[in-house]
Structure 1
Amino acid sequence: MSQNGTPHDGLPLAGRKDEDMPGHWLLARMGKRVLRPGGLELTTALLADARLPGADVVELAPGLGKTAADILAAGPRSYVGVEADPEAVALTRKAVGARGRLVEADAAQTGLDATSADVVVGEAMLTMQSDRGKDAIIGEAFRVLRPGGRYAIHELALHPDTLSDEQKTEIRKALARSIKVNARPLTEAEWRGALTKAGFEVERVRFAKMALLEPKRNLADEGLLGTLKIVGNVLRNSDARGRILSMRKVFRTYRDELAAIEVIARKPETAA
């Protein structure tokens, strides 16, 4: 049993109280399986744009293994998931089975061979890093990719590019308080800058609404039965309900300034 009296659920940080748990793992505990800011629709577009069939694919921080299953369904030549949390490794391993392999390592230091992948995929993980952490992970993706390889990311963005530093700080602080993670989303220009600084060329950018906790998005992502399960779990757990309502309030307060972003960045053919 966890500290709040609920059974361990096999999720990372399952022993922590609901009021202290990072928002994405709290949602996972309630039964939510699609935890990306742009939902299943943007993930589907991201994987199509990454051109996965026949490719050697590395996924950074696969978490529950939901996207790993979608990647494998696209028919890559190989799949490697890199995850630092041993419990998350176990979850993804269940989803992957014998069709790929999992490496327990930090996304900034994967231990993988240089120029060994055609595609690196990362979703909703760079946002949670400091600027230095973002640079380290993007640099590692560049190192692992072959020349011509694609880095496909699905993250949280601030909009528009003209937001003041004060507005950005206000939004980031509100997010951090509600989701219990020091989230640092960037504007489109800042995401582009972080990638080009590492040597990438940005090929494509897409946006989607940040509607992670809205009913319509949940029905699309989780289906009717999945959504009903989530609602039932939330109604039965007052601590979780308070946290989730707080997160939704922040998302709604800043709905005009928050968006999901997809970026496909390419390592130049001439890169070493």
Structure 2
Amino acid sequence: MNKRARDIDHLQGHWLLAKLGKKVLRPGGVALSQWMLNQLNLKNKDVVELAPGLGVTAKSILLHGPRTYTGIDEDENAVAQLRQQLGGARIVCGSAAATGLDDAVCDVVVGEAMLSMQSETIKNSIVSEAARILRPGGHYGIHELALVPNDVDDKVAEELKKNLARSIRVNARPLTEMEWAALLEQHGFVLESIKVAPMGLLHPRQLIADEKLRVFKIVFNLIRWPNARKRVVNMRRVFRDNSKNLSAIGIVARKL
């Protein structure tokens, strides 16, 4: 096995898709991200985005006319690229669980496709940090994976998580809608809006809607990289086989 094949085999699922040329790495796609941003009413607000990654949502946030934007990302390469892409926007290298920002420094916190990949302990740390840096009455918007229905059988949920982890090379721990709500509420948030949508990350219709002409680059790379193609086919199979119990969820909550 050559180096590229080895690298592809070990890449986490979202970075594999990014390597293939995919830019939108959110479970509910651009549509759910835009729904969340519209609910947050970002104009003239101080906004912090946790783990902006490739910067797709960051660009959308800036189009809403915030007063300030700060991105916090642990990946130094991502930080460097975002600084170049986003011009004068403030991008800081740091952890979503310990941003280094002052207390009550912003009106809005945004985080997408990150909490699902964390343990219960880290989930709580990140939500607690979001509450700390928000001003009273500020809003927290998340876009994550969700288990459905709320009373999904425990054995079904655990098997889904195991299959998902094996496929995407990340120990994904999605929650039900009720569990996401409970997590936010225990850190002093009141839920204002919730939207559940299909988990269409690799569904052809969402792929085209999200990526537009980039689809051709993704297909070309899948053709020339058989190891990547094998992994993507497996990921899509896992998503499809578990579609009855796996969805995307957007939540907007207000800090008391």
**Residue 189 of structure 1: aligned partner:** 178
**Residue 25 of structure 1: aligned partner:** 15
**Residue 50 of structure 1: aligned partner:** 40
String of CA shifts for 1:163-220, please: whole Å, max 9, x gaps: 1221111110000000000000000000000000111111110011101111111110
Deviation at 1:229, TM superposition (A): 1.1
Rounded to whole Å, the distance in 1 between the matches of 2:149 and 2:109 is 27
1:149 lines up with 2:156 in the alignment: no
| Structure with larger RCO (C-alpha < 8 A, sep 6+) | 2
1:84 lines up with 2:74 in the alignment: yes
Aligned pair count reads 255
1:3 lines up with 2:30 in the alignment: no
1:237 lines up with 2:228 in the alignment: no
Rounded to whole Å, the distance in 2 between the matches of 1:78 and 1:203 is 23
Show structure 1 runs of 4+ deviating over 4 A.
none
RMSD of aligned alpha carbons: 1.1
1:43 match: secondary structure: helix
Query: Could you list the runs of 5+ residues in structure 1 that have no partner in the other structure?
Result: 6-15
**Residue 239 of structure 2: aligned partner:** 251
String of CA shifts for 1:43-75, please: whole Å, max 9, x gaps: 110100111000000000000011111100110
String of CA shifts for 1:148-171, please: whole Å, max 9, x gaps: 000000000000010122111111
Deviation at 1:96, TM superposition (A): 1.4
Contact 1:66 1:95 in 2 (8 A): no
Rounded to whole Å, the distance in 2 between the matches of 1:88 and 1:48 is 25
Structural mapping, 1:105-254, within 5 Å:
105-223=94-212, 225-254=213-242
TM-score (norm 2): 0.98
TM-score (norm 1): 0.92
Rounded to whole Å, the distance in 2 between the matches of 1:95 and 1:54 is 21
1:244 match: secondary structure: helix
Deviation at 1:131, TM superposition (A): 0.4
Percent pairwise identity:
51
